[in-house]
Amino acid sequence: MRVELRVPATGESITEVQISDWLKRAGDRVRQDEPVVVLETDKATMELPSPVSGVLTEIVKRTGEMAKVGDVLAYLEEAPAGDAPTAEAKTGPAAEPPRVMPAARRLMAERGVPAEQVAPTGPGGRLLKEDVLRHLDKAREPDATGSPAAPETAVPETKVSAPAVGARSAAPREEEAVPMSLLRRRVAERLVQAQQSAALLTTFNEIDMSAVIALRHTHQEAFQQRHGVKLGFMSFFVKTAIEALKQFPGLNAEIRGTDIVYRNYYDIGIAVGGGRGLVVPVLRNAERLSFAEIETAIADFASRAQANRLTLEELQGGTFTISNGGVYGSLLSTPIVNPPQSGVLGLHVIQDRPVARDGQVVIRSMMYVALTYDHRIVDGREAVSFLKHVKECMEEPARLLLEI
């Protein structure tokens, strides 16, 4: 029996998706509930499973194409009862021919390299141009005798003069146009919206991280044994930010029309790197979470972000955001507010720097921090005081226990 694979309803605000990657090809056998295609919305990606066991007979929407909710993506032929594919018969992406990117296909055609000889390393098993170049470099490596691998047919040695300065290189100059993903388009729209609709300003400070580093060093082993997760810096910043937000509620509020909406709860967005870009899952009611619960949630977010398995609900909302560019080596930056939020705290790399303490120059582990805020709702005095409170709590972590 012929079965349709359609775009499901993924959320009230989602009307269309982009075909990110087909995990199966026409003619492949599939099992019921086995992922067949990856769909991307403007908020997240998701895998669409097969509704039946059988054979994928026809793909209607190709990779990169757009589809609306309810559109047919593919057709399957359901297997008769008792004839479903077994685990041994199951074929996955690793067992199929890789998806060859255009630049890689051109280079292989020029050099006469079969695709099956090149190991793909791209996302979803894609074969990239870099994979072909790596294969060609390996083919030129010296053999056991110390000589480069000989070509199949001998070519008479020809003396070639060096090219003149400024002469055109024989290497092709290539460009590859790739459609912008829905997620990247949505991020771009929101960033531009934030710049155009809010009065954004950034204030900076620096934090001596020595006390927190020492505390983590002292209690890391016991913490990890008891809770099964490492004690990181982010839980300290989440706790500290919440205490500061309680004192300066404008940074946890938003503007709705001509009203300012203040909240008595704290849903903290944590920016993490995903498989398809930066995403911001939300810690709901973070004020109720312990250090261990915060660290466990963030570790889970990071893991599922890499696998593109975060849900739409986890990416929606948020009253304040923390973004840690320091994990990528950023020394100082000005983060952009995620509308309709009014503030974002930017963290940066920790560096040993000379600082003055009690009239002496000493080396301390320092971090620059930045707070970008919407000046329509938050005054400069409040923003500076907020960041100063974050600094004081991080430099004296005991303040978090005393809530001072």
Catalytic residue numbers, as ranges: 375, 379
* 3-class secondary structure per residue, 5-27: EECCCCCCCCCEEEEEEECCCCC
> Per-residue DSSP letters for 274-286?
ETTEEE--EETTG
Cα(163)–Cα(298) distance, rounded to whole angstroms?
A: 55
Alpha-carbon dihedral sign for residues 307, 91, 35, 188: positive
DSSP state for residue 127 in the 8-state scheme: B
Structure tokens at 198: 């809010």
Cβ–Cβ contacts within 10 Å for residue 8, how many? 12
According to DSSP, the residues that pair with 232 across neighbouring strands are none
Torsion of CA 77, 78, 83, 89, to 10 degrees: 60
- Phi, psi values for residue 246, rounded to 5°: -65, -35
Distances 129 to 13, 176, 182, 202, 275 between C-alpha atoms, Å: 37, 11, 24, 41, 20
| Exposure b/e, 236-254, CB count within 10 A at least 16 = b | bbbbbbbbbbeebebbbbb
Beta strands in 199-302 (DSSP E): 200-208, 254-256, 259-261, 268-270, 272-274, 277-279, 282-283
Question: How distant is the alpha carbon of residue 185 from its chain centre?
Answer: 14
| Exposure b/e, 136-172, CB count within 10 A at least 16 = b | eeeeeeeeeeeeeeeeeeeeeeeeeeeeeeeeeeeee
Cα(53)–Cα(83) distance, rounded to whole angstroms?
A: 9
Cα(233)–Cα(228) distance, rounded to whole angstroms?
A: 16
In 3D space, the residue among 194, 185, 187 whose CA is nearest the CA of residue 339 turns out to be: 194
Cα(357)–Cα(92) distance, rounded to whole angstroms?
A: 60
- Whether 331 contacts 351, CB under 8 Å: yes
